[in-house]
Copies of this chain bind each other. A is one copy, B any other.
């Protein structure tokens, strides 16, 4: 209740009383601010707590429903799956039915669909799987690993910035959407005439047993192995292609620091143990060097004897003049300066001669005198990350086909069909494949199509038609064929306004030579996989329509244009800084760029699960640092 204000003291000589000034309270504004601040703080704390409680509660309730006690009834299994028939050139069992085929309605529905077999479990294979539609194919994936790996973050996993488990997703979870099957085995051979893939399984006792997997469509996406470049001693090197590699590297790095801390270790040996050599100045090499530097700066320094941080030396040996040489010059420079500041030694224009268990030998040619000198770096950790080569299966497939001459990969046409294999049966994507760049090998075929008047020569009108056909067959040649008239005039050496077969052959040969093949990157593999997945869907859906109308199934060309690669840019982490090369545009910078680099990789994850895990790893590193357990 409010007490009415006494009016007795009001002066009477004025009709309206003057407004009484409020008593001066010097702290009133301060107090109001304080009160507002307190309320705001209370609100913030309340909101935060409430938000956390809400999320936690939700998770808890969900969690309680994930435990189940249901029992399965007997499941039907086809007798053919239990006792497969034998056949094929080697009279091996043929897996015409698999044990999971009868499991559910959905698997029973696809079991009579065309058999699509995908060999491999990396970027290309997963990208095919993700762009397929459920129910159109009986999908079987043959892979020696049961998971797919987010390879670009392997350097981070190699020092424990992220956990290896955050980079992998079980293939079975990806295949489940398509009601497909995983066969954990290695592809070893191919019988294209009978459409049989020969795989090698490992039994529990370690014995190998081979079996045929029949296919209607085969996608080869087995990736590559490291190229040795003929350097001896590569068995003394680490590689960084798999999570197992990352685990081994992490163990070795921490082992080196532990051994360096031992009282039995001599000063010279300590120096050698803490010398990290990276052969290859591409993104993997550069990122690994950067991550090792980070590990030393942020964690080793805090928990190991200080001398172990002080004696660390990191060396990058690069054959070219600059590191990150496929990036823009500005980026190379930026990365080189960053490394110079960080005391990471860059040895450019150098060739690794040999890798010994205790040291690396490299040679440098003096650019002026041309004299080659050899140098040694003592080291107990050498990473080999330069170049790719064919794995045994790729080599085998390549050897089966007479017109496969490429040294490093299987040649495919513009539709990504393996050249020489029965048309539309076998595709190859990713590192294990390369798109043909030889235009001249299509010479006769092109002339046949273009030479309308059949005079054995190509006039300008026919040439224009031919250019259109070349662009369809070898889309990568398009940029070389922009100046149609100029090309025609240039190679029409006798200036008779027609191109003879000889003139044409020279022209096409030179165009082919100018095409650079696509790089062996995740981006290329991913786009190729998506292309194949989409095409397979189109083939399946049109096949159903066509079969309903008694028409022959369509060919690849009828449903889809040739594969076209769209370069979205390259990026690399260089130690609390990152660089981006977006086709001409270059960005580089410190922490902000690093967060941007993380965001891009984060968005490219194959599942929300690995997204959550990665985010957690980054937060955990921020709060508690890397786990220094040598495991």
Contact = CB atoms under 8 A, between A and B. Distances in A.
Interface in A249-307: 254-256, 258-259, 261-267, 269, 272-273, 294, 297-298, 301-307
Interface stretch (A7-15, A96-104, A447-455, A492-500): A96-104
Contacts of A203: 259, 264-265, 269
A321 interface: no
Contacts of A184: 258-259, 261-262, 630
A25 interface: no
A631 B72 contact: no
Q: Which of A70, A147, A184 has the most CB of B within 10 A?
A: A184
Interface centre among A173, A213, A343, A609 (most CB of B within 10 A): A173
B209 A146 contact: no
A104 B625 CA distance: 21
Nearest to A630: B146
A370 B330 CA distance: 86
Interface stretch (A50-58, A424-432, A560-568): A50-58
Interface in A364-400: 380
A602 B597 CA distance: 35
B620 A609 contact: yes
Interface stretch (A77-85, A124-132, A223-231, A522-530): A77-85
Most buried by B among A170, A262, A624: A262
A310 B609 contact: no
Given A100-B305, A164-B631, A264-B211, A298 B68 contact: yes
B622 A147 contact: no
A302 B173 CA distance: 9
B273 A204 contact: yes
Interface string A600-631: 00000001110011001011111111011111
A484 interface: no
Contacts of A460: none
A341 B71 CA distance: 10
A10 to B, nearest CB: 29
A104 to B, nearest CB: 8
A627 B165 contact: yes
B631 A165 contact: yes
A532 interface: no
A479 interface: no
Interface in A65-123: 66-72, 74-75, 77, 81-82, 84, 93, 95, 98-100, 103-104
Which of A163, A272, A306 has the most CB atoms of chain B within a 10 A radius of its CB? A306
Given A54-B44, A305-B181, A261 B100 contact: yes
A82 B267 contact: yes
Nearest to A104: B306
A54 B59 contact: no
Given A81-B263, A259-B203, A103 B305 contact: yes
A457 interface: no
Contacts of A380: 204
A98 B298 CA distance: 23
Contacts of A273: 204
Contacts of A66: 298, 621-622, 625
Nearest to A209: B264
Contacts of A55: 48, 51-52
Contacts of A256: 204
A308 to B, nearest CB: 8
A13 to B, nearest CB: 34
A613 B620 contact: yes
Nearest to A577: B67
Contacts of A612: 620, 623
Interface string A571-610: 0000010000000000000010000000000000001110
A550 interface: no
A255 B205 CA distance: 12
Nearest to A149: B629
B63 A54 contact: no
Top 3 nearest A-B pairs (CB, nearest first) are A51-B51, A100-B305, A63-B622
Given A67-B297, A67-B591, A104-B306, 19 more contacts: A47-B54, A49-B51, A59-B619, A66-B298, A67-B294, A72-B301, A77-B307, A98-B263, A100-B306, A100-B307, A147-B629, A165-B627, A176-B303, A184-B261, A201-B264, A204-B255, A205-B358, A211-B264, A612-B623
10 contacts: A59-B622, A99-B308, A100-B261, A100-B305, A185-B262, A203-B265, A243-B631, A607-B624, A608-B624, A612-B623
